[in-house]
Amino acid sequence: MVQLTINGTASQIDADPDMPLLWALRDELKLTGTKFGCGLAQCGACTVHVDGVPVRSCQTFLGDVEGTEVTTIEGADGAAMAALQAAWVELDVPQCGYCQSGQLMSAAALLSETPNPSDEDIDAAMDGNICRCATYARIRKAIHRAAETMEA
């Protein structure tokens, strides 16, 4: 039994501690907003926050996050996420949308740490978040727009 807090709710998951967090979220808890992409922590589709830090849940084991606070796209909130979601819609960022939960989770962590990021800050924070549709320019623009919104 692994105990942790998921999206603000204390949870006990009866699963092998060596199970990837991604599968515990999707299969055990039915939180399917976090996506499986590559399974190698290379694409970013499975990004969640563990104690506020973005991690790739496909290569993070359930036992390694015992006692932590895990936030998925379903539980993500706050000023940064609200501004990002509004910018994503305003600028029509997603195309197929598959990677977007991971993109948003990485972008929210960036804006929480760096409220007015440069292009270089964005590129560094978003490195490893792959978009099959190549909407990188719209993602960057939306992050800048969200930062402006938060500043106003």
Beta bridge partners of 70: 6, 50
- Note whether 60 and 18 are within 8 A (CB): no
Domains and CATH numbers, the chain: 2-71 (3.10.20.30), 79-151 (1.10.150.120)
Separation CA 125–CA 105 (nearest Å):
11
Q: Please write the tens of the pLDDT for every residue from 55-110.
A: 999 999 999 999 999 999 999 999 999 999 999 999 999 999 999 999 999 999 99
Q: Please write the tens of the pLDDT for every residue from 33-57.
A: 999 999 999 999 999 999 999 999 9
What's the mean pLDDT when you consider all of the chain? 97
Q: Give this prediction's pTM.
A: 0.96
In terms of C-beta distances under 8 Å and separation of at least 24 residues, what long-range contacts does 113-120 make, across chains too? 115/147, 115/150, 115/151, 116/147, 116/151, 117/143, 117/144, 117/147
